[in-house]
Structure 1
Amino acid sequence: VTPCPDIPPMMLPPPRRPRPGMVNQGLYHACRVLTWQMLSPAYRQVRQKLDLAPLPWYGPFYRRRRTHHVLYGFSPSIIPPSRHWPESVRVAGNWFLDEAQTWQAPESLEAFLAAGDKPIYVGFGSMLGDDSAALSEVFLQALRNSGRRAIFATGWGGLADVDDDNVYCLT
């Protein structure tokens, strides 16, 4: 998400033809401000609880007082780093958890997986929602209509913990 002229913003569909560098730069800044406008209510609440000053309408990205250090966890073989990025931006390569080789699923998840057809996964990563119960009910109804089983990742994604034999909730 670091603005540069040579890599199109990842949060937009890839362009069919290369865009001029100034267009990419402008799109990055527009995406930053729009993303901040969506996330700022959550940040505002936390900052108020911590007694911190509010951030400006355009977000924390353009403060000149400090350098933002960015560490990207993707392979430079897939997307080479931009030569326009400042020294404070680095591509570290893919990140792996050492315990991934020894990880064991909880017994309850193993039992759920063994009890029926392969489930689908429902989750929204770090997306925040206003009404998690309503959003969860929509997906639960869609799941029932499809006749499928599912694993719901509740997390930040705004899904509520549901009580249904065809749903396993990851919290």
Structure 2
Amino acid sequence: MVYTETLDVFVRVPGIATSKKGAQDFVQRLVMQTVFDALERQARNALLPDGVISTILNQLTVSIIYEPLHCKNVILSRTEKFDLEPPHCLISNNKVVGSCSERSIVAKRCVKFVQVPNEHLSFSGTLLTTNIVMANWSREMWQSVVDRALQMLISGPYGSNFLRATSTVNGN
């Protein structure tokens, strides 16, 4: 997820977040809902009643730490001419594939593209529960929930952004 405060970018790339907090909130909601869906599916497979499932989900908190990429400006092809100074995010098929870090003043084109830095390609999260049963789950049990959530992210509408994702559960 990326964000910008530049009006021209909103016009050229509809759906881009309008602030850093907006991008972070989007990722937070997406991951939280997916974890809830994975837990709900597991609870339904265990034949738990709806009321119990609702109580379990209400006792879970998901917190995500993520540093979205700030795109002051965008270019939609490697050969696009532009007047503004870099950095510019290079967007292809509605996905940021790199950024222009240097341009030719004469040709008004990008002469140096770089990949999106890793800090913008990953996030970490914490799951906290006040449910006594879930609080005592093994690391393996939580890993199965997180793995299921990751598979759901991969098969969801933003799946291409998670194709190389991995998950790790730390703790007991």
- TM-score class, shorter-chain normalisation, is under 0.3
- Which structure is higher in strand share? 2
- Which structure is higher in helix share? 2
Q: TM-score, normalised by structure 2?
A: 0.23
Return the structure number with greater relative CO, CA threshold 8 A, min gap 6.
Answer: 2
